[in-house]
Amino acid sequence: MAKSETVRNAERLVEVMMKDNDASHDAAHVFRVRDLALSLAHEEGLSSSPISLEIVELAALLHDIGECFLFRNASEDKIVEDFLEKEGVDMDKSSKILSIIKEMGFKEEIGGIKSDSHTLEFGVVQDADRLDAIGAIGIARCFTFGGSRNRVLHDPNIQPRSDLSKDQYMNKNEQTTVNHFHEKLLKLKDLMKTKSGKKRAEKRHKFMEEFLKEFYQEWAGKA
């Protein structure tokens, strides 16, 4: 199916806005999320609804616009709203796209936003973003981000934090890169919203568990 002009313009916006980001949150990440989201959408039966697929694709493409090392501000949020208005996306679609983007983050979920009222379109976009945070690519992205922040790789004396509040999670200074697996990445499998997302997350989750097992053995000089 041919891409719409709006989708092509969204791709261009992503490339311009994210060109200076490190590889953990670059345009390639966004395009992977878009492809994953569309794949999940088809598996979840949304392929018969062009409107739903458009909402999924645009929400996935635009979900990280305004994200600068994971900190969003109001003026950056407006970039997406202005883009959709300029492209002539109708108010209903635009509202759904903006709602998905606003509520899909991990920090929003631990902050108390409930998922029982979210749509299937929301579920496939959020699941796609979370799938890209786990597995082999998730590991690569995690260490890329940690390196960009000069974060400590691992310190056995710093234990992962449990039962994080939103404010605690956003305090990145307290994390080590390896602890981020325990504080977030290993939790994502159980937070998937769709059957297709849950199925794919199982394999990626196991890969991370095996990686960490080997990592700890090598760190301790046992492997």
Q: pLDDT tens per residue, the chain (223 residues)?
A: 568 999 999 999 999 999 999 999 999 999 999 999 999 999 999 999 999 999 999 999 999 986 643 444 446 568 999 999 999 999 999 999 999 999 888 876 765 555 555 899 999 999 999 999 999 999 999 999 999 999 999 999 998 887 665 566 556 666 899 999 999 999 999 999 999 999 999 999 999 999 999 999 999 999 8
Which residue matches tokens 């994390």?
175
Q: For residue 190, give its domain range.
A: 5-219
**What pLDDT sits at residue 72?**
46
Q: Are the C-beta atoms of residues 60 and 33 closer than 8 Å to each other?
A: yes
Enter the pTM of the model. Answer: 0.90
158: CATH: 1.10.3210.50
Q: Are the C-beta atoms of residues 199 and 133 closer than 8 Å to each other?
A: no
Q: Are the C-beta atoms of residues 40 and 128 closer than 8 Å to each other?
A: yes
**What pLDDT sits at residue 69?**
39
- In the chain, the number of structural domains is 1
Q: How far apart are the C-alpha atoms of 56 and 46, rounded to whole Å?
A: 10
Exposure of 94 in the CB half-sphere (CA atoms within 13 A): 15
Which residue matches tokens 């297709």?
196
Instruction: Say how many residues make up the chain.
Output: 223
Rounded to the nearest 5 percent, the helix, strand and coil shares of the chain are 65, 0, 30
